[in-house]
Amino acid sequence: DRWNEPSTNCVSWSVSLHAPFPYIDSNSSTSDRGDSCYHFETEQVKNWQDAEADCVKEQGHLVSFHSEEELSFLTGLIQQAPTGISLWMGGHDSITEGGWEWTDGSPFRYIRWNAGNPDDYFGEDCLSILINDGYWNDDNCQNKRGYICKRRGEECCLKCC
């Protein structure tokens, strides 16, 4: 279970950006982020479906966002990502066009769309976050990207911080 790897070190995350990305315990930050841990994967780029399957295999899902505070917390970290222009998130509208939902089943209420998005350009149904500014883009689900997994629960990151 990589959520509890002994090599995970939240404190030195900002200086150890090379994969495997450690899991970030949201409670280790100075303000309350809830009971979630995050895993950043940038070395093994995958299409959206395979990225979600990888997160589920580790008892998580592609990341969902529910507040400006949570997004700001992670945007500061993803701007340090070593490669790519965007990372997969857990949002999709593949069931009903324009009916965005999160893979973890949580309500899709908080949004931060990039200008002109979502535009469904050639049938884009999956959500990515732009590394440079944290805005969201509807994206082609078959593109290969890094991704962010999120795992909830008080014991999600026992060895983290």
> Model confidence at 17, in pLDDT bands (50, 70, 90)?
very low
Residue 45 within a domain: yes
Residue 87 within a domain: yes
Residue 160 within a domain: no
Q: Does pLDDT of 100 surpass 80?
A: yes
Q: What is the mean pLDDT of residues 121-130?
A: 92
Burial of 56 (0-12, 13-18, 19+ CB in 10 A): middle
Residue 161 within a domain: no
In 11-122, alpha helices (H): 48-57, 68-78
User: Would you give the end-to-end CA distance of the chain in angstroms?
Assistant: 17
Residue 114 within a domain: yes
Q: What is the mean pLDDT of residues 142-157?
A: 81
The per-residue pLDDT for 18 is 34
Dump pLDDT digits (tens) for 23-74: 454 443 322 345 788 888 888 899 999 999 999 999 999 999 999 999 998 8
Domain of residue 50, residue span: 2-11+19-152
Say whether 113 sits in a helix, a strand or coil.
strand
Strand partners, 128: 88, 137
Counting the structural domains of the chain, the total is 1
Locate 132 and state its tokens.
């440079």
The per-residue pLDDT for 81 is 67
Q: What is the mean pLDDT of residues 9-22?
A: 31
Q: How many Cβ atoms sit within 10 Å of the Cβ of residue 60?
A: 27
Pairing of strands 86-92, 101-102: antiparallel
Burial 14-33 (b: 16+ CB within 10 A, else e): eeeeeebbbbbbbbeeeeeb
Query: Any idea what the CATH number is for the domain that residue 6 is in?
Result: 3.10.100.10
Residue 146 within a domain: yes
- The closest alpha carbon to 33, from 6, 72, 90, belongs to 72
Residue 51 within a domain: yes
- What sign has the CA pseudo-torsion 73, 56, 156, 108? positive
